[in-house]
Amino acid sequence: MQRLKIDQDIKPLSEVRTGIANFIKHVHETKRPLIITQHGKGVAVLMDAQEYEAIQERLEILSDVQTAMNQIATGHGIDHANAKENVLRRIRK
C-alpha cells in the first residue's frame, strides 16, 4: 500500500457522496487509502480491495509470528533440529 498523501487523500463525506465513483477510481489507481471525514474527524477509510486483502495477509503472518514468540518465551517452542525433523517426517508420508 502506498503512503497516504495528506493533501490528496483526506476528503469530507459531503465531497465523497457527490463523487464516489471518482474516489473509487482514484483509490484503485493510486493504491492509497482515502480517509473520509465528518465534522472534521476521520470516520472511515476507503481502500482498494486487493490492498485490503494484502494487509489482512500481513496481519495474519504477524499474528503467527507473535504467537510463536510467545510460545518460545514460555518454553513451549522446539529447537530447529526437531522442527526440521518433524517437517521432513510429514513430507515423507
Tens digits of residue pLDDT in 16-29: 999 999 999 999 99
pLDDT surpasses 80 at 9: yes
Tens digits of residue pLDDT in 47-69: 999 999 999 999 999 999 999 89
Average pLDDT, whole number, for the chain? 92
What's the confidence (pLDDT) of residue 41? 95
DSSP per residue over 35-78, as a string?
Answer: EEEETTEEEEEE--HHHHHHHHHHHHHHHHHHHHHHHHHTT---
What is the distance between the alpha carbons of residues 64 and 61, in angstroms, rounded to a whole number? 5
List the domain boundaries for the chain. 10-47, 50-92
Q: What's the topology of domain 10-47?
A: YefM-like fold (3.40.1620)
Radius of gyration of the chain (CA): 21
Cell numbers 498523501: residue: 5
